[in-house]
Structure 1
């Protein structure tokens, strides 16, 4: 018996490895014949949320829209993997309520800021430190880490494969890898 299609909500700083992990989990689910969709926060800002900026209210609305989409996908039998910073606890709790607590799995991709800054694939941290962009979470804006995530991973010290195995174990699909 397969677990009920649910939402894996990956939260963490920019460049923490959320999207990489989301795509790897999605590949595994797809290889098992399970329909799934990755909702990448950055990509959604250019599509579903193109009308939003980076104010607190806009960030909250971004998370709300993603949660609504996740709930709809779960209701139609599709797994949702949301990979977005979602910096505020209150927004993540609202997402849990919208999706349903029994099918919402919060994963804190707790890669430390120095590791994220060293990666900086989009140059966002460099620009924020230079003052050319404002409101970057972790530099000019706060990030409220989850108090009780169902899973915490650090892609700075854990391999993608280990993180995937731990996420699948959380979902009841594979034994946890011990680290």
Structure 2
């Protein structure tokens, strides 16, 4: 890291954006296996927030890898860097007064904790999108589990690469049992309870 850089304090602060927007800001970090429903839930929650006039945005794992993180693969080191970058981007969104929903497998607790620790304590909500592996494999929306089982894809989370379930998430969504709409309502209810919206 360069030693000749200095943080420039912005004239318009997070509190100013929040006051203008009329709501809190922060990061809703959805983590879970591929096919668990992270992206679908994030987008449905985002749509509902948009309809309420709330500034929100979705950062999706696959979409980010098309641009910002196009240079990263799926080695443990690259996964770590992927989550580090996303954490920093999500923090910027929160600083701008936006509620940002992230949908990333983010398999390692250490990496999720690192993101939690760069934000104030009340601005990070870890949401475990909990779906049994066998159900994710049945869904297999991108055909990735089939490729992983056949050996076409190596290091696939849940098959030959680990997924560390959150130790103490703020919210757990059981997508093997609950519908997308029920999960959306759970998230919105939690945000209301916490005074974010």
CA–CA distance in 2 between the matches of 1:23 and 1:77?
Answer: 19
TM-score by length of 2: 0.85
Shift >6 Å, 4+ stretches: none
Q: What is the alpha-carbon distance in structure 2 between the residues aligned to residue 153 and residue 9 of structure 1?
A: 12
Correspondence for 1:165:
185
* 1:126 maps to which of 112, 127, 146: 146
SS where residue 111 of structure 2 aligns? helix
Per-residue CA deviations over 1:62-102 (Å, capped at 9, x if unaligned) read 11111111110111111100000000000000011123221
| 8 Å CA contact retained: 1:135, 1:141 | yes
Matched, 1:141 2:158: no
Q: Report what 2:90 is aligned to.
A: 70
Q: Shift of the alpha carbon at 1:139? A: 0.3
Aligned equivalents of 1:156, 1:54: Cα separation in 2: 26
Contact conserved, 1:68 with 1:99, CA < 8 A, in 2? no
1:87·1:142 contact (CA, 8 Å) conserved in 2? yes
1:85 is the counterpart of 2:85: no
Aligned-pair CA distance for 1:45: 1.1
In structure 1, runs of 5+ residues without a counterpart are 175-179
Aligned pairs for 1:145-156 (under 5 A) are 145-156=165-176
**Bigger radius of gyration among the two:** 2
Describe the SS at the equivalent of 2:192.
Answer: coil
Please give the per-residue CA displacement for 1:2-22, whole angstroms capped at 9, x wherever unaligned: 541111000000000000000
The one of 25, 34, 48 equivalent to 2:54 is 34
Q: CA RMSD in A?
A: 1.4
Pairwise CA distance, 1:43: 1.2
Unaligned runs of 5+ in 2: 1-18
**What secondary structure is seen at the aligned counterpart in 2 of 1:172?**
helix
1:23 and 2:43 correspond: yes
Tell me the TM-score normalised to structure 1 length. Answer: 0.93
Q: How many residues are matched?
A: 174
* Alignment match, 1:52: 72
